[in-house]
Structure 1
Amino acid sequence: MPDAAALLQAYDDQLRTEAETPSALAVTRLGPLRLATFAGGRGFITYRDLGGADADEIRRLVAAGRAHFEADPEITRVEWKTRGHDRAPGLAEALAAYAFVPEEPESIMIGEAALLAVDVPLPAGVTLRRVSAEADVRAMTAMQDVAFGDSLADEMAEAMLRRLARDDGMEL
């Protein structure tokens, strides 16, 4: 099993930047940042790394990212994706200074996919199937809203339907 540093490197290589924004309506580059616009008025800021930027440069990047989305009247909320293993001096302070509000920390699970490819007994009345029909996608996103206490079903369904139409390998 690889060590933690190797696993984090794999995460960074495989799951950052392009992998985070396949359903974006537009992606603008701003130095190391990717500023993604999604349906439903959602902005998203991510990066692969900040290129060794110091606290002053990071503060300028945060200000520029915020200004980019403030200039778009369609955008109603913006998320700046942070990672605990990044070298980003002063990022938390800069985000707070520009009115970004931290959400609950997220976790990632890393392991061998082959170990997960097993049959699992499902409870009575539960079925597991792939969905691609619009009605099923909308039902799935409505269920997510109930499970997570959100109200994003319509925009999530639209984004997923666009990705399914592109046939980019996503499965639901």
Structure 2
Amino acid sequence: MIDRRRVLALYDAEMRREPIPEPGARVEHVGTIVRVVGGDNCVLFSDLTAADAREVVSSQANFFRDAGAKVEWKVFGHDLPKDLTKILGDEGFVPDDPETLVAFDLTNEPLGDPRTPGLEIRQVLEVTQLRDALRASEAAFGPNTHHFLDRYRDRLADPTVALFVAYLDGSPAATGRLEMPPGKSFAGLWGGGTSPRFRHRGIYRSLVAARAALARQRGYSFLTVDAGAMSLPILERLGFVPLTTTRGWILHPPPRRLP
């Protein structure tokens, strides 16, 4: 059984205080703030008090406003001060959908996978398969062609990420990726989605199991997911344990002024 407090403290130390950025981004430590700049800008960790929170939030907001950049401030359920989300809202940040950070202990027995007949899970290794992943992603989440292809085309040979496609009777039905930051205890599941016409057939579960098997093979201790309302009950049935809540607060750049 996962010791939630210990695992969450380890997650904070490894994944929030010392994150490994995606290519093209950099990590900056500014006082008690850890932010990722470039690509998907994010304030990933903060250690604030009631005395300094408003000043620090305003400073970070102005930094990204001055850069004309969108940023997400990721708030976890145990972050302080207690009114941090109110302070963010007062500064103009807008809440995204709430999620739950869940973890699976890979050092115990592997995830079971009672595979649906006709289902095949493949790791994306070439551009043709990448386009299949795109089809499945767009069916699940809506159009994102330019962003998706640009993001993953150059990472097909990257050992820190693995993109998977689930095929049902030969048709791309679902996709999801596994992020494997080097030197960390945690691998992460991201972007998992199933086309609506293929849902409720156990495909998402099998896609999770395939990625968990690779993370276990690579020696990771834990597998984490920021689980939305739809995936949370499925993941809990598979043995994932909730650690804390999480929610992104988004600040959009101000509109450009016409010359």
Which TM-score tier does this pair reach, normalised by the shorter chain? 0.7 to 0.9
Report the secondary structure of 1:109's partner residue.
strand
Question: Which residue number in structure 2 is paired with residue 36 of structure 1?
Answer: 36
Cα displacement string for residues 10-35 of structure 1 (whole angstroms, at most 9, x for unaligned residues) = 32233324446334523333222233
For 1:84, which of 54, 77, 99 is the aligned residue?
77
- Residue aligning to 2:146: 154
| Superposition pairs of residues 45-60 of structure 1, within 5 angstroms | 45-47=43-45, 49-50=46-47, 53-60=48-55
Q: What is the CA distance between 1:90 and its match in structure 2? A: 2.9
Q: Distance in 1 between matches of 2:141 and 2:18?
A: 25
**Partner amino acid, structure 2, of 1:159:** R
Q: Give the drift of 1:3.
A: 2.9
CA contact (8 A) 1:54 1:88 kept: yes
Query: Is the 1:141–1:154 contact (alpha carbons within 8 Å) kept by the matching residues of 2?
Result: no
Q: Please give the residue correspondences for 1:3-82 in structure 2 after superposition, counting only pairs within 5 Å.
A: 3-19=3-19, 21-39=21-39, 42-47=40-45, 49-50=46-47, 53-73=48-68, 75=69, 77-82=70-75
Which residue of the partner structure matches residue 257 of structure 2? none
SS in 2 for 1:55: coil
- TM-score, with structure 1 as normaliser: 0.75
Q: Is the 8 A contact 2:16 2:34 kept in 1?
A: no
Contact persistence 2:53–2:84 (CA under 8 A): yes
How far apart are 1:136 and its partner, in Å? Answer: 2.8
Deviates more, 1:12-21 or 1:126-135: 12-21
> Aligned-residue CA RMSD in angstroms?
2.8
Distance in 2 between residues matched to 1:38 and 1:156, nearest whole Å: 17
- Measured in 2, the distance between the counterparts of 1:127 and 1:67 equals 48
Number of matched pairs: 163
Do the aligned partners of 2:35 and 2:42 also contact (CA within 8 Å) in 1? yes
Tell me which residue corresponds to 1:112: 105
Partner of 1:144: 137
Percent identity (aligned): 25
Of 129-138 and 97-106, more deviation after overlay is shown by 129-138
Q: Pick the aligned partner of 2:120 from 97, 122, 127.
A: 127
Gaps of 5+ in 2: 164-259
Query: Cα 1:138–1:112, aligned 2, differ >3 Å: closer, same or farther?
Result: same
Distance 1:135 1:20, change over 3 A: farther
Q: Secondary structure at the match of 1:82?
A: strand
The structure showing larger relative contact order (alpha-carbon pairs under 8 Å, at least 6 residues apart) is: 2
Distance 2:79 2:30 in 1: 18
Q: Contact conserved, 1:26 with 1:36, CA < 8 A, in 2?
A: yes
Taking the aligned partners of 1:34 and 1:24, their CA distance within structure 2 comes to 17
Post-superposition offset of 1:100? 0.8
Report what 1:171 is aligned to: 162
Q: Is the 8 A contact 1:23 1:162 kept in 2?
A: no
Q: Unpaired runs of 5+ in structure 1?
A: none
Higher normalized helix content (fraction of residues)? 1
Give the whole-Å Cα distance in 2 for the aligned partners of 1:153 and 1:18. Answer: 31
SS at match of 1:110: strand
What is the rounded CA distance, in whole Å, between the counterparts of 2:2 and 2:145 in structure 1? 38
TM-score (normalizing by structure 2):
0.53
Displacement, 1:83? 0.3
SS at match of 1:106: strand
